[in-house]
Amino acid sequence: MNRIYLDYAATTPVDKSVLKAMLPYFSQKFGNPMSIHSFGYEGEAAVEKSRKITADFLHCLPDEVIFTSGATESNNLAIKGFSKKYHFSQPGKKHFIPHIITTAFEHHCVLNSVKFLEESGQAEVTYLPVYKDGIVRVEDVKNAIRDNTRFISIMYVNNEIGTVQPIEKIGKLIKDINKIQSRLGGTEFKILFHTDATQAINYFNCDVQKLGVDLLSLSGHKFYGPKGIGALYVKKGSFIKRIQDGGDQEFGMRAGTHNVPGIVGLAEALAGIKTQSRGFGTKIKIMTSLRDYLISRVLKEIPEVKLNGSKKFRSPNNANFSLANVEGESLILSLNREGIACSTGSACSTGSLEPSHVLLALGLPPEEAHGSLRVSLGKDTTRKEIEVFIEKLKKVVKKLRNISGNVLKEYK
């Protein structure tokens, strides 16, 4: 059976060029970058070259790039690092609790981080609504800002439904507010703006200057790099402190021996996006067309199916559906038996029996949220694969509905 992979939002295969760049650093140039001998110098040179490549991609300074184990660590470092720095630097103002703004459908690593701060009394938190289309309103961000607002975290592209948030507009709003407060003498009033750009790197402009962000998280395995490596952009002067104790690696911001092969692989993957224009060129137009073809056929040929989130403001590789009278896990397992790999939501939530918090945030009832299907395309996905997938999906959905006794309208 030929297998078809349509779960690129969960992870991507390592590009051959990325693997080739990484290989020498496993067994030939294996030195620890912190060691002061020739083997260590080789590792250090590789890390710093990779840091510059990453900085060039993000349009920032090399020393504003902190390598981490992935986006989960980057998000934790950004959020908890802010809180730790804030409370550490103001021992005489413990009564003043900072206010954090985020959205109701962030990745769990963001939501759980801010909930930890909220429940431990370290922060007040506002969770913004995202409405039926899965888009945050800039006006809602503006209205949520208080005198004690110090941190805002809004994801660039949602990992489940692929909707794209107006990060640049929000960044301008925060910059303008910070400027006004600065002119009024409010030197302590500074809002940090963080975005989880994990699902955006491969498809959208991630120039941090253009976006107006102070912190940006990314993860290598989402854009054809290796797993276990990520980065956090930290704008100079940003108010965060390390959350992991140990050595002085990464400018004292992230203790632990460098994952040199992973760092080299991440940089090579980013360089591939930049040099091949994979994020802004012809391949994206082809992928968008393929996605629209997929959405159109599924909505037309399978009854009682709806697209979750905005069709206009969504990632070119994402299609997320709710199918009435179909249980999501059964659907994924049935498709897997047909050789099709998809997901029912975030890969990080697999095994949970709870309905998707993302779909609940859109206003879907739990029974609809349980019957979701995420189809995510990759750079090598073909039209033929999509056509095979659609036919298999029609077959599986009809079978599952027959088994449950929920036979709906005739299939086309």
Alpha-carbon Rg for the chain, nearest whole angstrom, is: 22
Cα distance between residue 191 and residue 175, in whole Å: 8
pLDDT confidence of residue 279: 44
Contact 336, 393 (CB under 8 A): no
Whole-angstrom distance, CA of residue 260 vs CA of residue 31: 9
**CA quadruple 356, 216, 8, 227: dihedral sign:** negative
* Regions of the chain where pLDDT drops below 50: 278-279, 410
Residue 58 class from Cβ within 10 Å (0-12 exposed, 13-18 middle, 19+ buried)? buried
215 closest CA partner among 60, 104, 9: 60
Alpha carbon separation from 85 to 74, 78, 124, 239, 255 (Å, rounded): 16, 10, 16, 6, 16
How many angstroms separate the Cα of 238 from the Cα of each of 149, 173, 387? Answer: 15, 18, 48
**Cα gap 355→403, rounded to integer Å:** 22
Relative to beta strand 318-323, strand 372-376 is antiparallel
CA distance 373 to 394: 13
Give the residue carrying structure tokens 């056509």.
387
Full set of structural domains in the chain with CATH: 4-12+279-404 (3.90.1150.10), 16-276 (3.40.640.10)
- Catalytic (active site) residue 348: yes
Distance CA 105, CA 5 (A): 25
pLDDT digit string, tens, across residues 147-175: 999 999 999 999 999 999 999 999 999 99
Residue 356: C-alpha distances to residues 157, 181, 321, 329, 361 (Å): 16, 39, 12, 12, 9
Distance CA 352, CA 158 (A): 19
* Strand order across the 124-128 sheet: 65-68, 230-234, 215-219, 192-196, 149-153, 99-103, 124-128
pLDDT at 282: 76
Q: Give, in order, the Cα–Cα distances in Å from 325 to each of 38, 92, 149, 397.
A: 63, 57, 43, 9
Asked if residues 47 and 263 have their Cβ atoms less than 8 Å apart, the reply is yes
